[in-house]
Amino acid sequence: MSSLEERDVGVAAAPGSSSAGLGVGAVGAAAEAVAGVAAMQDEVGIRREGPESDTDEPPKKRLKIPEGESGKLEERLYSVLCCTVCLDLPKASVYQCTNGHLMCAGCFIHLLADSRLKEEQATCPTCRCEISKNLCCRNLAVEKAVSELPTECTFCLKQFPRSSLERHQTEECQDRVTQCKYKRIGCPWQGPFHELPAHELECCHPTKTGTELMGMLGEMDQDHRRDMQLYNSIFSLLCYEKIGFTEVQFRPYRTDDFITRLYYETPRFTVLNQTWVLKARVNDSERNPNLSCKRTLSFQLILKSKVNSTLECSFLLLKGPYEDVRITPVIYHHFFSNDTNETDYVPLPISDSVECNKLLAAKNINLRLFIFQVQK
């Protein structure tokens, strides 16, 4: 037994007295380190599990993050969740490429439209992988995270989550810009919402004479008549004996010129016992429409059948059943004959370039054509 103890002592002290002293110091340092780690864990609020831990003890509270640190976190989130194209936080849908890079809906549609105009495959601006409506998907987690980030109200300069900002600015904000309720009879006042009651008490327009009010009502009637003229024309066209409509699909093609240009054309279709074709072009065949921020579409209707007499027709294009583009109906009129079987290119009445990009980004453009034959 004594020899065994001597062997243990000999092993511990074999390197010499200085090494033995170093070993004792290392043990002390290790003990201090363990104690320090335990103190840090207690401070942060991490519970150590073990046979001696008390299961009834409530969990430690987490340390409160200073305001400066939370501000830095928001800034980091802004840089992580922003669109890789416009470098701004998305306001609506968020799309991602196959490698996870984010694009807001507007930039995603714009990239697809540019690739259509340049006859190239659309690619992610970060990793250059191919993107399309089939390859990319929405990132709902990022959309939810962005909606919870704080943003500033443009009127009162207070911060609100992005998901509730629109409701605040349109319904709740006391500094939002509003107009007098007597605007319809000529009051030009507009100002903060909290000043509206005081203005309405002092507004002089409710005390105007009947003669003054009749002049304003006459101007309002003229605007109303212009708005109703289109609908009255459509209702009168619906009374025609010969009415035809069909779904048309514009497919993209390229011209045979040295610098090819994009144009669209539909397959031949039959309406009112006649064969027709529709053609469309971008920015009236501008040389480089991809370099222009403003984009428009124009179309023409072509009669392919031979006719014995002049065919007088009215026609209009509306959005198809599955399209989300906004088109304002406009009625066009033309006399078709064997010599004048093509109409001039007329504007497709879409509201702005954003709607045009939606159509260009699609594989095909699906619309609905109405033709009304005027009876002699």
Does residue 56 lie in a domain region?
no
| Contact assessment for residue 101 and residue 123, using Cβ atoms and an 8 Å cutoff | no
Number of domains in the chain: 4
Does residue 259 lie in a domain region?
yes
Does residue 21 lie in a domain region?
no
What pLDDT does residue 74 have?
76
Q: What is the CATH number of the domain that holds 129?
A: 3.30.40.10
- Examine the domain organization and report whether 315 and 331 are in the same domain: yes
User: Residue 367, class by beta-carbon neighbours within 10 Å (0-12 exposed, 13-18 middle, 19+ buried)?
Assistant: buried
168-183: string of b/e by CB count within 10 Å (b at 16+)? bbeeebebbebebebe
- Examine the domain organization and report whether 289 and 345 are in the same domain: yes
- Examine the domain organization and report whether 331 and 268 are in the same domain: yes
- Examine the domain organization and report whether 262 and 352 are in the same domain: yes
Q: What is the CATH number of the domain that holds 302?
A: 2.60.210.10
- Examine the domain organization and report whether 257 and 352 are in the same domain: yes
- Examine the domain organization and report whether 220 and 198 are in the same domain: no
Does residue 58 lie in a domain region?
no
Provide the domain limits for residue 120.
71-151
- Examine the domain organization and report whether 197 and 214 are in the same domain: no
Does the predicted TM-score (pTM) go above 0.75? no
| Contact assessment for residue 205 and residue 225, using Cβ atoms and an 8 Å cutoff | no
What pLDDT does residue 21 have?
42
User: Residue 84, class by beta-carbon neighbours within 10 Å (0-12 exposed, 13-18 middle, 19+ buried)?
Assistant: middle
Q: For residues 296 and 292, give the distance between their C-alpha atoms in angstroms, rounded to a whole number.
A: 10
Q: Which residue shows structure tokens 């007098």?
A: 180
Does residue 60 lie in a domain region?
no
- Examine the domain organization and report whether 88 and 183 are in the same domain: no
Does residue 14 lie in a domain region?
no
What pLDDT does residue 95 have?
95
Does residue 299 lie in a domain region?
yes
Per-residue pLDDT tens digits of the chain, which is 376 residues long: 444 444 443 434 444 443 334 344 443 444 454 445 444 444 434 444 444 444 455 555 444 555 555 557 777 888 889 999 998 888 889 999 999 999 999 999 999 998 888 888 999 999 999 999 999 999 999 999 999 888 889 899 998 888 888 899 999 999 999 999 888 888 889 999 999 999 988 888 888 888 777 877 777 788 788 878 888 888 888 888 899 999 999 999 888 776 678 889 999 999 999 999 999 999 887 777 777 778 899 999 999 999 999 999 999 999 888 778 888 889 999 999 999 999 999 999 888 888 888 888 888 899 999 999 988 6
What pLDDT does residue 11 have?
39
Q: For residues 142 and 163, give the distance between their C-alpha atoms in angstroms, rounded to a whole number.
A: 13
Angle at 253 between CA 264 and CA 109, to 5 degrees: 70
- Examine the domain organization and report whether 250 and 364 are in the same domain: yes
- Examine the domain organization and report whether 360 and 306 are in the same domain: yes
- Examine the domain organization and report whether 197 and 284 are in the same domain: no
Does residue 3 lie in a domain region?
no
Element (H, E) at 70: helix 67-81
CB atoms within 10 A of CB 203: 16
- Examine the domain organization and report whether 270 and 365 are in the same domain: yes
Secondary structure letter of residue 291 according to DSSP:
G
